[in-house]
Amino acid sequence: MPESWGTCPGKLLTGVEPVQERSVLQSMKLKGVGDLKSILTTDTEMQSLEFTQLIFGLSLIPYFLIMFPFGMVMYILCHCILEVCDLLFHFDLTGVTVKRLHESQKRL
């Protein structure tokens, strides 16, 4: 037995040779490391995915900054158009004016 391994008190308890313990540890380390190329590829893919998600998230900010005011303008325009239609045609799309017309016709 080489001196670098020292004595193994576990041999007395388990009966396992130090050579076997060392080979088991080496194989466990090799299994833990795995293929270095696949690890680097996976890490690069994850970084690429995170970068893509970041860019997509940042691209939504100008979209909402543009679309939110545009949506408010469209809401106001639609509201104004409905009010104009209500004034010109005495017709409310919600049915309130139609209900008033029916009530006024019943009185006559």
Give the contacts of 10 (CB within 8 A, at least 6 positions apart): 16, 21
Answer yes or no: are the C-beta atoms of 82 and 93 closer than 8 Å.
yes
Token reading at 5: 């391994």
Task: Tell me what pLDDT residue 66 has.
Answer: 82
Answer yes or no: are the C-beta atoms of 91 and 97 closer than 8 Å.
yes
Q: Rounded CA gap, 100 and 84, in Å?
A: 18
Amino acid at site 5: W
Answer yes or no: are the C-beta atoms of 86 and 100 closer than 8 Å.
no
Residue 4 above 70 pLDDT? no
Residue 92 above 60 pLDDT? no
Give the contacts of 82 (CB within 8 A, at least 6 positions apart): 92, 93
> Tens digit of pLDDT for each residue in 32-87?
556 666 666 777 778 888 888 888 888 888 888 888 888 888 888 888 887 877 77
Answer yes or no: are the C-beta atoms of 14 and 8 closer than 8 Å.
no
Lowest mean pLDDT among 8-12, 46-50, 87-91: 8-12
Answer yes or no: are the C-beta atoms of 91 and 102 closer than 8 Å.
no
Task: Tell me what pLDDT residue 68 has.
Answer: 82
Task: Tell me what pLDDT residue 34 has.
Answer: 62
Residue 105 above 70 pLDDT? yes
